[in-house]
Structure formats: structure tokens, C-alpha cells
Structure 1
């Protein structure tokens, strides 16, 4: 099952107002006091944000900007080779800067005329109901920190690369943005945590790690693949299965490793019909119906 909390470093605030991001012992930046101070400061800006306020702007360092430039250069080549046409076309229209990390208001300015999506800052983990539910208003909650400079092509947690290059490029597509909005509408109907987790798991295997057959090749459209320098090279070696929301919503998997099983659509239209159609119809009884269907 999907355990999103494992992806994010916990963020706490003391009674004195001090903000701390708790990096794991394996995090590349855990022994870098300057990086840890940066993470705390960036998280504090997100925690202080209130809807309606100007989006917080981060004064990124030269080192952080260099990380962005390295990642952009590498991912541009890989998107040309491995991403589906829908994503590549959307990315071209969004035209994210490659020479500097875009501020969230820059991303919003680019997305607004394309799909009407906007971004809101996140210090770290956003509760599932809030995160997915905001899609109904075409809002995406995004972290603003950048991965550690010692490993520019690796991150143990979602950072600005994942949120902006991965998800931003994806929701620049009107067809994918419409699916996101359908996810948000579904969350508004759901009352049980079980149904919410089922939705999150289907989202994981589609909008995060989805692949599609295109011109007799397997191409990716999932944000997790689009933003991963390593996994975007390896996903074609995964075991491919046809779209099956029952399997996607009940599969067990390890979020810390490359996914050994991926669900491959035959076209973008099938993603809209099967995945979008599922989100449009799901309700609190969906997990029970899924379990019953596997026993029949």
C-alpha cells in the first residue's frame, strides 16, 4: 500500500517558533549544517504561508542553481528519448527555465493559460486528503527545497525537481490536468481512509509511475519517472501489465526502490478512459468491490 509519509522528511515547529526538518541518517545532506539550515528556513516560509498571500520566494544559492542546471540538462535528453509525446508537447508549452530554479509564481504564470493550475508551497508532507483534494481547485502543493549538491542526480524525497519538472510538466497537459481535477472531485466524495488510500495507490501507478505504448515503444508519462534521472533509464525493464485499477489499488510495493511492475496504457485516450473514468466514479465502496472482484 502507498505510504507517502516515508517519502518526506518530517517537519516540526517548537513552541518558540523554530522550524526543523528531520533528515534521515542516510540523507546526502544530513551532515551538512548549511544545507540543514537552508531546509529549515525554506520549510518555515511554507508553514507561514496562508492562502491568498503572495507565494513565498526563495533566494536560491549559486550551488542550488547549479544543481538545477545539471538536472535540467540531463533530464532534457532523457525526456526526448523516453517521455511520451503528450508530455514533451506540454513541456515545450510550459517552457520551464533551465538556467535557474523557477519560483512558484513563475510556474503558476506558465501553467495558468495552459490548464489553469497553480501551485501552493509545502514544507514537506501534505496530508493525502488536502493534497489530492486541492486538485479540484487546480492547486498543486509543492515543496521548494532542492536536493543536496553532493548528489545532484539523486534525491531520497520529492524536491523542487520532482514537483516542478515532474508534476508541472505533466499538468501542463490539458488532458492530464483534467484527470487531476477528477481526482480532486473524487476526494470530496470519499469519507473513509481506506478509499482514500485506494485512490492514492491508483494515482501512484498512473500519474506517478505510468507508462504508455507509443509508436511501438514504451514511453513514460508519470511524474515520478519524468523527474528521476535513474529510473527513467530503467523503467523499460519492468514487468508491464495492462491498466487494471483493481490491481493498481491493491498492489503491495516498495516506494524506496525502482518499481518492478508498471501498468502500461495503449494510448493517452485509454489513460483518460480507464484511469480518469475510475476517478470519476469511485466512492467509499470501491475497495470492497475491488476485493470481491478478485475472489470471484
Structure 2
């Protein structure tokens, strides 16, 4: 399966908004690791140590195993050249620097070509627990360790392709829900216990505990049609989560689904409230 993906041709996005000054056409920028300050590196180290301890016994095993790709020779924010050498050797993925949020077509084209865009900045010390725009800690600590697992790497590339198709069909809002409830805020059942795999939770000190231990949110078995109908909020802890049994099963469910038919089937149906699904 892995070889089938990496042998495919480069996928280009449709014409997107003009990239900012200093960025390439695909919105990438040089990382310039040497320009990060001692304080910025210290914030990374603080976040890394705090979150690694919080996730002990809470994250899926593959996350802890994938953290090896972030244990690099230099302290602080990972230098992408060294990081990419280790990550690419495992699954053919690389991380590229971008100035911030990028247009949807650019984002999904990167995923479709096994590149993950990471914001080239880090939050300040007084924003440790909340940042509206994803920074390098969320993007690299939250996403990259699981990209070292072949099934997740293939799933992310599949989502990139499905995202470009959804954009073309005008149904990106549906595909965005699948991305949200898996890649960002997914839970998994592992050895009979709930574990975290979504990057939005993995990089959040508060939601790491809330997602597993609070009695407030609903936790439902993953069902693709339900996910496509379920709304979400980006400004608060989730009120509902979907639970997968395995990454391989998640990948198969998306690759084998007729998403066009599903989009049509759910279009006339009302949206579902994640707290009441």
C-alpha cells in the first residue's frame, strides 16, 4: 500500500490565492532555524516536556514510538533538514515550513504529495495553553510522530487527494469534518482502553485529560456517514469524539468508501450535534 502511494505522480493544486512575499508558489518558506531565539527554543522544550509527561498512558503506542523522529541532535524547535531525513526514511513524508495558515487547495495538495505544512513560528510563553492559529509545536509535535507510521502516512495522503476532490465538487465542508474528527481530534481503542491520536488533542495540555476523563463529551464508534454529518467547533474543547479500532481500518474505510455517493446521501439530511450524536 505504501509503495502504491509514493510511486504516484506529483499532484498540483488549482490556482490559489497569491502567496505572501517571500513564499514560493506553494506557500513554502525557508525555515531559517538559526533565526529562532533562545526563548522560542525554550518554549518548545517546555511544551515538549510538559506534553510528553501528560500523554504518558494517554496516547496511542504509535505516538510514543514516533516521537523518536523528534529527538534530534539540536535542542529546541526541530531543524527540518534533520527531521525530514529521519521521517522520509520511514514513510516518504517531509515537513515543509509555511508562514501560517495556507489556502485549502495548497494544504491538500501538500498532503497529497506526502508533505506536511508546518507554521514557521511558535507561540509565546503566555500562550502555552491556547493559540488560535496552529504553530510549529502543534504541527510538528502533534502530527509528525504518527506520520512515521505507514498506515497514518497513507491515510493522510488519501485525505489530501480526497480534499482536492471535495474542493472540486464543492463539498469541502463534509471532508473537513472527516479531517477534524480523525486527524485533529480522533480517539482510538487500544487494548480495551481509550487512547488519543488526534493532533489537536496531542498538542493540548487541557484537552489531553478532558477527552479521556471528562464525563461531558460523547464518545461514539467511528462511522463515516455520521462523521460527515456532524458539526464541530474550533474555539473550545470538543463535545463529541469518534473512536476508531485501528489505523488500518480507518484507512480502509476511506479508501473503500464511495465518498461521492455518501456526500449525496447526507446532503438532504440535517446536521448532527456532536454532543447528541
8 Å contact kept, 2:229–2:270: no
The question of 1:259 aligning with 2:259 is answered: no
Pair 1:129–1:53, CA change in 2 (3 A):
closer
Distance 1:177 1:272 in 2: 10
Asked if 1:91 corresponds to 2:67, the answer is yes
Partner of 1:107: 83
How much is the aligned-residue C-alpha RMSD, in angstroms? 2.7
CA contact (8 A) 1:71 1:153 kept: no
Aligned equivalents of 1:217 and 1:87: distance in 2? 15
Indicate the residue corresponding to 1:60 in structure 2: 36
* Partner secondary structure for residue 121 of structure 2: coil
SS at match of 1:113: helix
Deviation at 1:294, TM superposition (A): 7.5
Equivalent of 2:180, from 204, 224, 238?
204
- Give the unaligned 5+ runs of structure 2: 1-17, 272-277
Alignment TM-score, normalising by the size of structure 1: 0.75
Where does the alignment leave 5 or more consecutive residues of structure 1 unmatched?
A: 1-11, 14-18, 20-43
Cross-structure match for 1:129: 105
- Is the Cα contact below 8 Å between 1:145 and 1:160 reproduced in 2? yes
Cα distance in 1, alignment partners of residues 73 and 125 from structure 2: 19
1:56 Cα shift?
A: 3.0
In 2, the alpha carbon distance for the partners of 1:48 and 1:267 equals 38
Decide whether aligned partners of structure 1 residues 267 and 290 sit closer, same or farther in structure 2, where only a CA change above 3 A counts: same
Would the alpha carbon gap of residues 136 and 49 (structure 1) be closer, same or farther in structure 2, given more than 3 Å must change?
same
